[in-house]
Structure 1
Amino acid sequence: MNSLELTKHIVKILDDKKADKIEAIKVRDLTIISDYFVIASANNSTHVKALVDEVEFKLKEIGRAPERVEGYQNANWIVLDYNDVIVHVFYEETRNYYNLEKLWADGEKLDITEMLK
């Protein structure tokens, strides 16, 4: 599964679990960190953890485990690092504060409506 296919799969998992404001940004041309960022929010820490748990569970089913997981204890901003795709799941207020979309505004924002079909 290439990085775009993985991104699409993650977006679908998050959408199925009722994540808010899902965005996918291609950052491959801007950084060596990753090819894509997937950003999503939830309105409470329980939902943040549930979203992350579901992504991890579904991707482990296809043989993909994250290299790192950061922020799980606090559940304000949890990062799943799949090397070519980095997933950021935020508590809504934390997302507004850090505003990653603005920080990575030079990246190519993908149309997730196409991914959800």
Structure 2
Amino acid sequence: MSSSQAPIAPERPIVDVILDCLDDAKAEETVSVDITGKSSLADHMVVTSGRSQRHVGAVADQLITALRDAGYGKPRVEGLPHCDWVLVDAGDVIVHIFRPEVREFYNIEKMWQADFAADAH
């Protein structure tokens, strides 16, 4: 394979691409939780809010585009039709984009920020 055919490796860490995109999209109350060792699903979980269903959908669309443009391909996405809670699975990072009321109800970042090591005896 010649060097011109080699896949282009992304230049920026995926979590940085995601956090910058969410900031640009005016997502609110963004929290990044390092879940390395807590879950085999991903290394980071990012939880953020949009002001309305329309904003949640727009944030998700902008994130999908930013990931693709940065060389990370197209993530798996769930929840776009209703936009109350959109999950973007970008491999090493899982992003949850909520409407504020839905985020408050599920409160998933609190669960993942718990110190599970304290429970092990």
Aligned to 1:50, which of 47, 52, 58? Answer: 58
Amino acid at match of 2:103: R
Equivalence for 2:43: 35
Q: Is the 8 A contact 2:17 2:66 kept in 1?
A: no
Q: CA RMSD in A?
A: 1.7
Richer in strand (by share): 1
Cα distance in 2 for partners of 1:76, 1:9 equals 23
Cα distance in 1 for partners of 2:107, 2:69 equals 31
Determine if the alignment matches structure 1 residue 84 to structure 2 residue 84.
no
Using the size of structure 2 for normalisation, the TM-score is 0.81
**Which stretch has the larger CA shift, 62-71 or 13-22?**
62-71
What stretches of structure 2 of length at least 5 have no aligned partner? Answer: 1-9, 116-121
State which structure, 1 or 2, has the greater radius of gyration over its C-alpha atoms: 2
Cα distance in 2 for partners of 1:16, 1:83 equals 21
Structure 1 SS opposite 2:13: helix
Using the size of structure 1 for normalisation, the TM-score is 0.83
Cα distance in 1 for partners of 2:66, 2:76 equals 16
Give the fraction of aligned pairs with identical amino acids, expressed as a percent.
32
- CA-CA distance at 1:61 after TM superposition: 1.0
What stretches of structure 1 of length at least 5 have no aligned partner? Answer: 108-117
Cα distance in 2 for partners of 1:104, 1:37 equals 8
Give structure 1 regions of 4+ aligned residues with deviation exceeding 6 angstroms. Answer: none
Structure 2 SS opposite 1:56: helix
Q: Is the 8 A contact 1:66 1:81 kept in 2?
A: no
Q: Structure 1 residues 61 and 67, CA, compared in 2 at 3 Å: closer, same or farther?
A: closer
Determine if the alignment matches structure 1 residue 101 to structure 2 residue 109.
yes
Equivalence for 1:18: 26
Cα distance in 2 for partners of 1:65, 1:56 equals 9
Q: Is the 8 A contact 2:88 2:95 kept in 1?
A: yes
Equivalence for 2:3: none
